[in-house]
Amino acid sequence: MRYAFHLTIRHGIEDEYDRRHANVWDDMRKMLSDAGISNYSIFRDGIHVFGYWECNDLRRTLEAVNSSDVNARWQEYMNDVIITLPSERTSVGMKEVFRLD
Question: Residue 74 burial (CB < 10 Å; 0-12/13-18/19+)?
Answer: buried
Q: Which of 24, 39, 42, 37 is nearest to 64 (CA)?
A: 37
**11 in active site:** no
Question: Residue 32 burial (CB < 10 Å; 0-12/13-18/19+)?
Answer: buried
What is the H or E stretch that residue 22 is in?
A: helix 14-22
**Contact at 8 Å (CB) between 41 and 50?**
no
Give the active site residue among 6, 11, 21, 48: 21
- The catalytic residues are 21
